[in-house]
Structure 1
Amino acid sequence: MHNNIMAAGSKDRPPMLGPGRYSQWRSRFLRYIDTKPNGEGLRKSILSGPYVPSTVLVQAVAATEGNPAIQQHTTIETVLNMTPENKEHFLSEKEAIFLLLTGIGDDIYSTVDACKTANEMWIAIERLQQGESLNVQDVKTNLFWEFGKFTSRDGESMESYYSRFYKLMNELTRNNLQVTTMQVNVQFLQQLQPEWSRFVTVVKQSKEIDTISYHTLFDILKQYQNEVNDIRAERIAKSANPLALLAAAQPYSDNYYQAPKPQRSNATSSSTRPSASTRHKGKEIAKLVTPQSESVSEEDSDPEQAQRDKGHAK
């Protein structure tokens, strides 16, 4: 509403002071004053203060028939003896106060209304709006920070991402923050989740992102939403099933931990295989080193055979 009134340039009332628009309002208000028949007096009342009547010198007047003589003296200036310029300035004070109170909102009305003159009101409005300008600057700084840090959320749909981005862009526009089309599109594309990367590449290769709007980017990317959902589902399934991850990593682990098989050559096999003579010698040696306990055990087991063996020996 404020913007409509300010832009309309109504002749019936002054422009309204909107939030964060003091510099525009000040210029338009003074231009509105200049359109008034007593614009010069109004401007003087607002910028310089009310006209203060001064003392004037009244010349002596000789006595006439029926009128006494008037001596030369000084008196306070009145509307009757003011110059036209001073009179216009003097009479414009009340109208200037009315116009200022009509052009401001309720948020600062009580503070401004406590002032006694139009000039005091003008100064109070400027002082109040300077404080608001600092708040507006903070808002702009925060919006720029939010724009730079804006990113999509894990599992968020393209419609939800676009809706949040759209609201942020509206806030930037409402606060007169200018961002180029290229900056907007780059931010829109780069802040998507990794599962969108393949489709973002497709868009960059097929479109001039410095000329189209982010609305067009949304229309293109939303066509890939089902494919992105499949990619997300596969990623979640792998994360939720450790066995699937283990199976996927098994070929790599087997190759890593499997011991290398020795390579056998004919020379090696022939040199390491024992010969027949060697096996025979081994058996003879085994007979020679038969423990005594084994011989004793044989005599004990068959005493008659042992006696016959002794007789043959004799």
Structure 2
Amino acid sequence: MLMWTQLEKIMLGTVVSAQLCQTRYMNNFEEFKAKDGESLNNVFDRFWVVINDLYKIKVTKTELEANLKFLNALQPEWSKSCHRMRNDVRISTMPIQELYEILMTDETMVFEKKANLDKKNKPKTVDPISLLASQLA
């Protein structure tokens, strides 16, 4: 009888471990976000790992769910490209790899736009010596 009790505990532990693993993978999908300044390639690679983890536990997301999650996870500078892709009729059937390839064509434009915004919003520094000289004159 003792052996069956131990076996039940082992099996219960296996079920709990599987549930914890499934919860962790689902949270990784739900909370996925691109990091500031991260390239589209790196974002896609990390997202692909999350999708593969879900497949391991036999959880599948539709093309639409995966595509929208990927688009929503991108940084704000991608908003114009994301808006265009959300309005694309094929978004619900488009494989995530195809979405990535389409977005890759916009990456240079997005980083140039971000660099221009950063340059525009950069606080102007003042040389204290020239400020002092201009006030003394």
Give TM-score scaled by structure 1 length: 0.37
Distance 2:114 2:94 in 1: 28
Distance 2:43 2:6 in 1: 44
Map 1:273-312 onto structure 2 (within 5 A).
none
Distance 1:206 1:149 in 2: 24
Matched, 1:142 2:6: no
Taking a change above 3 Å as real, the CA distance of residues 178 and 206 of structure 1, as seen in their structure-2 partners, is closer
Return the letter of the residue paired with 1:215: Q
1:199 alignment partner in structure 2: 81
Q: Deviations over 1:61-110 (max 9, x none)?
A: xxxxxxxxxxxxxxxxxxxxxxxxxxxxxxxxxxxxxxxxxxxxxxxxxx
Return the letter of the residue paired with 1:139: C
Distance 1:126 1:177 in 2: 26
User: 1:181–1:213: 8 Å Cα contact kept in structure 2?
Assistant: yes
User: 1:152–1:193: 8 Å Cα contact kept in structure 2?
Assistant: yes
Compare CA radii of gyration and give the structure with the larger one: 1
Identity of aligned residues (%): 26
Identify, as 1 or 2, the structure richer in helix.
2
Matched, 1:164 2:30: no
Aligned counterpart in structure 2 of residue 242 of structure 1, from 121, 124, 137: 124
Q: CA RMSD in A?
A: 2.1
1:131 alignment partner in structure 2: 13
User: 1:155–1:232: 8 Å Cα contact kept in structure 2?
Assistant: no
Aligned residue pairs total: 125
Matched, 1:224 2:106: yes
Return the letter of the residue paired with 1:138: L
- Of structures 1 and 2, the one scoring higher in RCO (CA 8 A, sep 6+) is 2
Distance 2:44 2:37 in 1: 14
5+ unaligned residues in a row in structure 2: which ranges? Answer: 126-137
Distance 2:117 2:47 in 1: 26
Give TM-score scaled by structure 2 length: 0.81
2:70 alignment partner in structure 1: 188
Give every structure 1 segment of 4 or more consecutive aligned residues whose post-TM-superposition deviation is greater than 6 Å.
none
